Amino acid sequence: MFSYPESVKEIIDLLLSNGFKAYLAGGCVRDSIMGVTPHDYDVATSALPEQMMNVFSDYKVIPTGIKHGTVTVLSGGLPVEVTTFRTDGKYSDNRRPDSVSFTASFEDDAKRRDFTVNAMGYNEYEGLLDYFGGKNDIENKIIRCVGNPDERFCEDALRILRALRFSSVLDFDIESKTSSSAIKNRALIDNISAERIREEFVKLLCGKRARDVLSEYSPIITTFIPEAACMIGFRQHTPYHIYDVWEHTLKAVESVPHEVHLRLAAFFHDFGKPGTFSYDENGVGHFYGHAAKSCIIAENIMKRLKFDKCTENRVLAIIKYHDLQIENTPNAVKKCMNKISRETFFDLINMFRADNAAQAPMCRYRIKHYDAIEKTARDIIEEKSCFSLASLDIDGNDIINLGIPRGKKIGVILNKLLELVINEKLANEKQILIDYVIRNMDRL
């Protein structure tokens, strides 16, 4: 069950040989019990920070959080966080303890941790230390607070989002008292930084149970994304949709690949629907212009949560074009890839499929069309057909060499040549393109 790198064992053994207690702790123990290889390893010890500095004098040690008892030891090239057993003082900001006290007991240390599945310790000499039933909760796929949930969440409000994230990623249910407390204390999330909220939300969104967690805990989600509240229960009044806007959104999230930009695009793609709803003369609902409105809302939210510009741009491009109609012809697909970029084109195919999966069964026939246009696009790429200025067999310097001065006209000419090549009126060969420019110099 417990297999960990020799460099980590070396750290534990060195602490033990110097008379201190030491255990693997937290997520690496949880993952090992679940049969998952941990991404990183944390060690908890009775050694005080200054004692750790002496024990690891032959290692590179980074005092990452030494006043809270944490150092990072580089062993065999692997960074391992080593932390003194501790108890926490009052949490006046609902995020970090005002003070910490060191203790010689791992049981006391475990009491301050968030969830039972993260409150276990292990070394190969004493075996598993599990004071709160964490192993049993893993076996039953349960997220449960250590001790009183209200106290745990009031100490650190980020734990509310961590509970949701673990539920989504691990495919665990949240125990009833922990669940009720998380919802009751959700206003405390206002005390958490935008960056930390974003990190937990993105992990939740990419988890296995994202749809269920977003649905069950919508009161928590709308605490930090209040723009979502009007979507909940908003009926679409159209035969093409069997879900309200919120449930349609969650089904789309579930149906798109587990990639951050795709999950975000699926989550945000219909935020503009409630604000653009109208009935036609037959009582059928429409959402004209909702993609543009969704872009504005999504951009505001992503800026508020401090997403990086690259992710923001990629997500907004998908939302902007998620209602685009693409004909399955080589020319139409080439024009589309040129207009929106090859990357966005294939992102859109994924978004089309997810959106379709969240519509009424009568719309499922469209999936064959999405498969067909994807195949056409891949054939175009494989055949190295020209669909962008980058693949045109002529560039701006070639145009300048014909005596045309630098300026906007260069771009106009290149785009005209690209249009002719895409429409198969000119071959994508340099001399043919140059000859065309020469012949039509006065008209370009």
pLDDT of amino acid 97: 67
pLDDT of amino acid 1: 66
Provide the token pair at 18.
């110097």
Residues β-bridged to residue 61: 73
Helices (H) and strands (E) in the chain, counts: 22, 13
Range 138-146 average pLDDT:
98
Provide the token pair at 287.
């959402």
pLDDT of amino acid 77: 85
pLDDT of amino acid 114: 96
Whole-angstrom distance, CA of residue 199 vs CA of residue 191: 15
- For the domain spanning 6-140, the CATH number is 3.30.460.10
pLDDT of amino acid 268: 98
pLDDT of amino acid 93: 67
The CATH architecture assigned to 141-224 reads Orthogonal Bundle (1.10)
- Does pLDDT of 95 surpass 70? no
Where are the alpha helices (H) located in 322-443, listed in sequence order?
330-340, 342-357, 366-382, 396-400, 408-422, 430-439
List % helix, strand, coil for the chain (3-state, nearest 5).
55, 10, 35
Range 234-241 average pLDDT:
96
pLDDT of amino acid 209: 97
pLDDT of amino acid 216: 98
Q: Where are the domains of the chain?
A: 6-140, 141-224, 253-383, 389-439
Whole-angstrom distance, CA of residue 160 vs CA of residue 149: 10
Range 403-429 average pLDDT:
90
For domain 389-439, is the CATH number 3.30.70? no
Q: pTM of this prediction? A: 0.89
Tell me the per-residue pLDDT of 323-380, one tens digit each, with 9 for 90 and over.
999 999 999 999 999 999 999 999 999 999 999 999 999 999 999 999 999 999 999 9
Q: Please, which pLDDT band fits residue 108 given cuts at 50, 70 and 90?
A: very high
Dihedral sign for Cα atoms in the order 208, 210, 213, 216: negative
Q: Please, which pLDDT band fits residue 29 given cuts at 50, 70 and 90?
A: very high
pLDDT of amino acid 378: 96
Which 3 state secondary structure label does DSSP give 70?
A: strand
Range 251-265 average pLDDT:
98
pLDDT of amino acid 190: 96
Whole-number average pLDDT of the chain: 94
Whole-angstrom distance, CA of residue 38 vs CA of residue 27: 8
